[in-house]
Structure formats: C-alpha cells, structure tokens
Amino acid sequence: MKNHLYSLYQMVSKSLTFYLGIDQEKKRAGRPPKVSDLQLCALFILSYITNTPVFTLAKSLIDPNIKSYHLFRKTRTQKVYRLLKEYRNRRILSILFAKLLLGKKVKLIVDGTILEVANLNRARTQRIKRFSGKAFWGKKKRNLYSEHYKEKVRFEEMYYGVLVMVVCDSEGVVYDLWFHPASYHEVRSLRIRYRKSKWLRFLVDSFGLMGDRGYRGCEYVEVCESKEQKGIRQVVEGVNSQIKLFNGVSRWRNITTLLAYLQGYTIWYSFFRKSWLFK
C-alpha cells in the first residue's frame, strides 16, 4: 500500500514540477524547510485521492517526525494555494486550447453544494469558530416522502457552513471554483462571481453555462430541459459528491486551508481521476 501511495506521490510531484517549473523552488539562505512548497502542493492533492489528511501523509511519505507547524503556517498555506491555483489554470488553458484547436464544443455546467463547517447536533466550539456571522447559517427546504403521512412532506434543514460553487465541463474538468456563506442562494453567488471575475465572464460569454431549474431566471444560465442536457449536468453532481465526504476528514481550521484543500481536490478530479494508477 505504501509503495502504491509513493507512486501516486511521485506522479503528482512530476506533473507539478513540469507545469510550474523548477524556478518555484529557489534556494534561500539559512536552513532549508523540511517540506518544500511543491511537496506540500502534492500532499494537498493526494489528500483527496487517498481520503487522508495532509499531516498524516507528510509523516508517512516525507518524515515521521514532522510537526504540524512545518506545514500549516498561514503564509505557507497562502503560497501553496497560489501555486495550486496557478497549476490548475495552466493545465486548463492547455486543455481549452487543444479543444478549440480540434474543433470540439466546450459545454460548461454550474452547480453548488453546502459544505458544513460543523454538525449542529454535535458541534464543538473550536469548529464553530471557524466562521462568524449570521451569513454562514443557511436553510434548505426539501420535499421528502413520509411513511407516517403516506405523502411528501416539506422539511426544513439548518446548515452552518459555506456554499461551494463549481463550474466544470462535460468531462468533469473544473474550470472555476469559489465559495460564499451558506445563506447565499446559488444564483446570487453566481452573479457576484460573474461581476468580479474576469475569468468566469470569459467562460460564460464564450461558451455559456447550463444549470438545473434552480437557475431559472438567471441571464447567464441555460436551464437543462432535454434528456441529453440533464445527462451532462450529472457530471457536476459527481464533482460535488466527494467534497462533502472529505470535509470531516480534512480537519481544516481556517479559510486559507479550506481553499488549498478545494484546489487540491479540483486538480485531482480534473487531471488525475482517470489515471491508470487509480483503476
């Protein structure tokens, strides 16, 4: 198992070095860090692949005596996040260029999912303090079948967390990802992102967006009506499914670490999911 894990680590590290270049690892005066920035980037990507926290992976693959402060300093995590984002953007641009060169159509889908910060039934104080403010409290209404009433009943659930929004294509490659407080509606979150992000405006204006009935009335989104469109939209559901599963394992404590984890996840799902090593 460890040999297989080390093979994954080597594969991800080589890909990071190729796209980011060795210039990212400039030598500095003084003692070198126990874990380089590119190594830490690879660990964040591997954490979603193996469903294992970064700290556990670092002790297994790099140094069993490593401490958490070697990995999770705020400035260090911010740099890792920027490197992961740059790596994803470079790979996406190369994929987009290749598709346009070959004359392939790019179909983009948007969807959001609630990522709970803590389980409200058994929440711990330190986890609740990750975010503060009423904006992170959200409600979700659903119609569920009740065995008692023998009909569908309206249920209302309360969440404490963030709304994670994903834009991907029909092959599962994630083109953009952002989040807002859980109280935000998906349409509101999309409109804010469209107004602030030049990259999303380029994607929407060039290729368009598809979404479910919740986006009806949004000028940027084409609502899926046909069976073919609904089948394509299922791809984004697969992207969102693993985010929730890993949330309880990651043990993140601040927003910068969450962003780095989400970037690592989108990189794995977009570029390494179909590798022969995962079959």
**pLDDT tens digits for range 85-111:** 999 999 999 988 888 888 888 889 999
Report the C-alpha gap between 79 and 91 in whole angstroms: 19
Report the C-alpha gap between 2 and 61 in whole angstroms: 8
Report the C-alpha gap between 193 and 204 in whole angstroms: 11
Spatial neighbors of 50 by CB under 8 A, at least 6 apart, are 5, 8, 57
Pair type for strands 221-223 and 209-211: parallel
Report the C-alpha gap between 248 and 262 in whole angstroms: 13
Each residue's pLDDT tens digit, 148-161: 777 777 766 777 77
Strand partners, 221: 209
The answer to pTM > 0.85 is: no
Q: Which of 34-38, 178-182, 189-193, 255-259 has the highest mean pLDDT?
A: 189-193
Orientation angle between helical segments 37-50 and 2-20, nearest 10 degrees: 130
Category of 141 on φ-ψ map: left (φ > 0), alpha (ψ -120 to 50) or beta: beta
Q: How confident is the model at residue 277 (pLDDT cuts 50, 70, 90)?
A: very low
Each residue's pLDDT tens digit, 34-81: 788 888 888 888 887 777 888 888 888 888 888 877 777 878 888 889
